[in-house]
Amino acid sequence: MQELFSYDFQKKSLTGTNDVVAHLSQIDNIIKECAPAFPVEGIAKIDLAILRLAIYELTITKKNPPKVIIDEAIELAKEFGNDASSSFINGVLGSVLAKEKSDGNKNS
C-alpha cells in the first residue's frame, strides 16, 4: 500500500507494485463505476492507494476471501486515512464486491 501511495507522486513502479500498476486503468475504471460521485483524481492519495490494492486483490488475484480483503483495507484506512476514510473505502469496496457477484452471475 505504501509503495502504491508513493507511485502517485513518483510515477515509477516499485518492486511490489508492478502487477497493480499494470492494471491501473482497469482498477481506476472500477473505482469510477463504483464511486461515481468521487473522481479518481479527487480521492485522497492514501485512500486511492488502499482502494487500488484492495480492488486488485478482489477482482484480479482473488487469492483471499473478499471479507478478509475488505477488513484489511478498512484497517489500513483507519490507521493511515482520515476520519471518513474507512467508511468511504468500505462503501466503495462493498459496491465492487456486489458488482463482482453480479458479473459472476451473468457469466454462469
Residue range 21-63, pLDDT digits in tens? 889 999 999 999 999 999 999 999 999 999 999 999 999 999 9
b/e map 49-79, b = 16+ CB within 10 Å: bbbbbbbbbbbeeeeeebeebbebbbebbee
Give me the domains of the chain, ranges plus CATH numbers.
2-107 (1.10.940.10)
pLDDT at residue 20 in the model: 86
C-alpha distance from residue 22 to each of 39, 73, 91 (Å): 20, 20, 25
pLDDT digits (tens, 9 = 90+) for 11-22: 555 555 678 888
Q: What pTM was estimated for this model as a whole? A: 0.82
Q: How many residues does the chain have?
A: 108
